[in-house]
Structure 1
Amino acid sequence: MDLDGARRIGFHVEQSFRYAYREPVTALAQKLVVVPRRRHGDLYRRSHRLAVTGAAHARRARLDAAGNTVVRVVAARVEHAVEFRLTATLDRVVGDGPPNLPPAALRDPRLLRATRLTTPDDALRDLAADCAGPDPERTAEQACAAAHTALTYEYGVTSVSTTAAQALAGGRGVCQDSAHIMLTLCRLLGVPARYVSGHLVGQGGTHAWVEALVPRGDRAVALAFDPCHGRRAGNGYVTVAVGRDYADVAPTSGTYVGAPGGTLTGSRKVSVVSVE
């Protein structure tokens, strides 16, 4: 399908996470960042449902400071397993443009300062020195290319706690690591940038990429780059949440009281249901 040549695209997302325990656990507290944003540039969430099965529970949903939907689930006791299952439908209306932000976003310290996962070392500073362009957009393009070249894709050699400096030193990693390297480069060069968690049509797992904020007239716009693939993010990318780094938008995280050794399994399917 020629998604990048379409005028309108419909998506259907199905995603599940299942935690299983060897014996009952108590005081489960789960944070879920899996519901796509209500609107993100030309992408509109039309409907969604988040089902929780396996335990009596209470939930609360709210928008965080970045406009992401955060759902918190608490359960007094889980006997065997608890499952979270999302279904959502979305439309991309091509031509509605990238996300627009107020000009103050270009000076947002949260998007310019290093985080624990994006703290630079000398190697990242040296790499950034080669990425400076004549304007913020060109700088972001060169940071994307540099992050892409710096890593060989390999699953299982890094974790959610791997920093950009550690990933660069190892030379191998996944999309999350490429995104953290690009974020570090952009911020070193004064380009505000944010981590994007979402889905890429045709890819098995969730995906991560970067939005660089650049001036456009009297506004700021968020331009999406995929450093894992070394390209601009096109119409096959479905945004769920944005933050400073992975830690802000981890799809699922939480705590419980009980014996260690629980197992997490998940599934995800993103379907294109209409193209015009």
Structure 2
Amino acid sequence: MILSVFHETRYSYDAPMRGAVQSLRLFPSRFDGQQVIEWEVSVDNGVRGGRFRDGAGDQVEGWSVRGPLSEVVVRVSGRVATEDLAGVLRGHREQILPAAYLRPTLPTHPDPGLRELANGEAAGGADALDRAHRLAEAVAEAIAYRPGVTHAHTTAAEALALGEGVCQDHAHALIACARLLDMPARYVSGYLLATEDGTPHEAAHAWAEIHVQGLGWVGFDAANGCCPDARYLRLGSGADARDAAPIRGVALGPGSERLDVTVAVEQAQQ
């Protein structure tokens, strides 16, 4: 499948800012399931800085914008050929050991509710892969998909107590539960092809990866009840949503910020 992506992120300020600096993780991951045909990342009136590949195998690029400025606009466009690998991240080169993803973070910090969820039926799986699937199913049943009820700083424990949330909440909850069972887990950011069957999801999407002995990293999208397939485009990973954020940065000045995001993911012609 060939996925066509257009992604625009616009930061607007109500007072002139002196400048902005950003770190972008907006480049498709290199692994057997993805082949970049064309891909362009740009920042309006920005100056491109250094580019490097971090220990997790993600490409990161720095940008700066000189002021005075009233907005910063980041644009992404391109086409990527994807293949269904049943969620297995095959052929991905990275240097960070899986054990590094066992440490809890603030959004994934376990509470009694998460411990009960992790130690329920999911803990009785026949093997590690079965336990991972059971965990994903348990999270999907415990947290209903409902946009607008949580926010960027909602923790896994809070989403579980609420019983509702979005893909970020499902991913954080699954990561927290997997780590409680000594299974390394991490947060993945990317895109998901829009469907016409009413399946709820955001085009700018997120899911979890759990490290399974013998297989390596395997993706689980509890929000949609499946493993990532050819409809998914992987960008990068981290210990949680903040760590894996596609855009991180700071603007210098007194203005308050407003964020507008437009994402379109379509299936292109072969």
Alpha-carbon deviation of 1:209? 0.9
User: Which residue type is aligned with residue 226 of structure 2?
Assistant: R
Task: Select 2:80's aligned residue among 75, 90, 111.
Answer: 90
> Which residue number corresponds to residue 185 of structure 1?
177
SS in 2 for 1:22: strand
Distance 1:96 1:153, change over 3 A: closer
> Which residue number corresponds to residue 31 of structure 2?
40
User: Which residue type is aligned with residue 129 of structure 2?
Assistant: E
Alignment of structure 1 residues 1-276 onto 2, 5 Å: 9-37=1-29, 39-53=30-44, 55-94=45-84, 98-100=88-90, 108-130=98-120, 131-132=122-123, 133-202=125-194, 203-216=201-214, 220-274=215-269
Alpha-carbon deviation of 1:242? 1.5
Contact 1:41/1:98 (CA < 8 Å) preserved in 2? no
Contact 1:182/1:210 (CA < 8 Å) preserved in 2? yes
User: Which residue type is aligned with residue 264 of structure 1?
Assistant: L
Alpha-carbon deviation of 1:107? 6.3
Residues 123-181 of structure 1: CA distance to partner in whole angstroms, max 9, x if unpaired?
11111111111211001001101110111222222222211111111111110000000
Alpha-carbon deviation of 1:15? 0.8
Alpha-carbon deviation of 1:105? 8.7
Alpha-carbon deviation of 1:28? 1.0
CA distance in 2, matches of 1:105, 1:180: 23
CA distance in 2, matches of 1:221, 1:174: 26
User: Which residue type is aligned with residue 59 of structure 2?
Assistant: T
Identity %: 31
CA distance in 2, matches of 1:128, 1:95: 26
Contact 2:5/2:77 (CA < 8 Å) preserved in 1? yes
SS in 2 for 1:249: coil
Residues 220-251 of structure 1: CA distance to partner in whole angstroms, max 9, x if unpaired?
42222110122222221111112211111112
User: Which residue type is aligned with residue 40 of structure 2?
Assistant: R
User: Which residue type is aligned with residue 208 of structure 1?
Assistant: A
TM-score after normalising by structure 1: 0.86
Contact 2:146/2:164 (CA < 8 Å) preserved in 1? yes
TM-score after normalising by structure 2: 0.88
Distance 1:44 1:211, change over 3 A: same
CA distance in 2, matches of 1:78, 1:175: 36
CA distance in 2, matches of 1:212, 1:271: 27
Contact 1:143/1:186 (CA < 8 Å) preserved in 2? yes
Q: Which moved more, 1:80-89 or 1:144-153?
A: 80-89
Q: Give the aligned length.
A: 261
CA distance in 1, matches of 2:161, 2:51: 39
Alpha-carbon deviation of 1:96? 10
Give unpaired runs (5+ residues) of structure 1.
Answer: 1-8
CA distance in 2, matches of 1:257, 1:61: 22
Contact 1:158/1:167 (CA < 8 Å) preserved in 2? yes
Pairwise CA RMSD of aligned residues? 2.3
Contact 1:42/1:97 (CA < 8 Å) preserved in 2? no
> Which residue number corresponds to residue 198 of structure 2?
none
User: Which residue type is aligned with residue 9 of structure 2?
Assistant: F
CA distance in 2, matches of 1:229, 1:96: 14
Alpha-carbon deviation of 1:100? 3.5
